């Protein structure tokens, strides 16, 4: 089964006639680790927002874990997404008034469920968040915020994690750490990962890379975990 299947998505922002997405089709297999690349403004974040249900496409179909999310009513769709999609944004999109641990279990709290603290501590160990559980986002470094955001995205064991440039604002050492963590999590957790990045090193952590061009996926390639190969493919695609 696919964790995500986008079929012929068409999307234009309200105040513009230009189609940001123009027939985008993409399948992300269950449990896989894939990267999405493309120049600034090509529509990567727009696509992730559609996948996460924050924007609705004018045309096309979006399936998550085999379910047509667009066909559900609003409350069913919201509940389904909360369970099946983890979204990590560049700024770590944490709730500033909640601690690291409260942020991480937010999917449960919002669903009216009792948090499973053993699940949180398992993730905290994998993500190097020990000792930071009671801290608030403002007290964290950029790398720590990203790791807290990844903990929250993973908490509910969603079908897919959508990560929008999670290392975009990090120094090299922290970016490397996040990269290693994502690779490790992909082996030990069930969730597929779709990683948007401008960094060939990050993209090479994934098994496949997709290039977005003219509103659709221009091509998809195995990365071979080789950053030089990803750079070469990138330059060939956008020459
Ligand atoms: N809210 C909006 N209203 C109108 N146009 C928008 C809006 N958000 C983005 N756009 C436009 O849509 C296009 C795609 O933007 P998007 O943010 O998806 O690009 P991106 O590939 O994520 O770029 P980057 O790598 O810089 O993050 C751009 O031309 C952008 O200016
Ligand atoms: Mg973007």
Tally the domains of the chain. Answer: 1
Task: Check residue 93 and give left, alpha or beta (phi > 0: left; psi -120 to 50: alpha).
Answer: left
CA of 43 to the centre of ligand 1 (A): 6
Structural domain range at position 179: 2-237
Distance CA 203, CA 68 (A): 28
For the chain, what is the mean pLDDT? Answer: 94
Distance CA 100, CA 57 (A): 33
Terminal-residue alpha carbon distance, the chain: 35
Q: Is the CB of 49 under 6 A from ligand 1?
A: no
- The CATH number for 6's domain is 3.40.50.300
Residue 170: per-residue pLDDT: 83
pTM over 0.85: yes
Query: Which residues is 29 bridged to in the sheet?
Result: 2
Q: Cα dist. 69→2, 5, 28 in Å?
A: 14, 11, 16
Distance CA 74, CA 155 (A): 23
Neighbours of ion ligand 2 (CB under 5 A): 45
Q: Is the CB of 223 under 6 A from ligand 1?
A: no
For 44-102, the pLDDT digits (tens) are 999 999 999 989 999 999 999 999 988 899 889 988 998 999 999 877 789 999 999 99
């Amino acid at each position: 089964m696919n964790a995500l299947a986008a079929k012929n998505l068409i999307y234009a922002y309200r105040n513009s006639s230009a189609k940001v997405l123009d027939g985008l089709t993409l399948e992300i297999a269950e449990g896989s680790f894939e990267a999405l690349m493309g120049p600034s403004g090509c529509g990567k974040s727009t696509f992730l927002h559609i996948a996460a249900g924050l924007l609705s496409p004018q045309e096309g179909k979006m399936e998550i874990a085999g379910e047509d999310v667009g066909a559900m009513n609003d409350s069913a769709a919201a509940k389904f997404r909360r369970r099946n999609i983890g979204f990590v944004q560049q700024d770590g999109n944490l709730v500033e008034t909640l601690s690291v641990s409260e942020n991480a279990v937010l999917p449960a709290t919002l669903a009216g469920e009792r948090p499973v603290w053993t699940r949180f501590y398992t993730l905290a160990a994998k993500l190097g968040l020990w000792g930071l559980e009671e801290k608030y986002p403002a007290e964290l470094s950029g790398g720590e915020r990203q790791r807290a955001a990844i903990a929250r995205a993973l908490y509910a064991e969603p079908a897919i994690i959508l990560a929008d440039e999670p290392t975009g604002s990090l120094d090299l050492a922290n970016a490397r750490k996040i990269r290693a963590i994502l690779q490790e999590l992909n082996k030990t957790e069930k969730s597929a990962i779709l990683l948007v990045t401008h960094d060939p090193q990050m993209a090479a952590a994934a098994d496949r890379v997709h290039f977005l061009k003219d509103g659709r996926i221009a091509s998809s390639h195995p990365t071979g975990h080789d950053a030089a190969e990803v750079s070469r493919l990138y330059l060939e695609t956008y020459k």
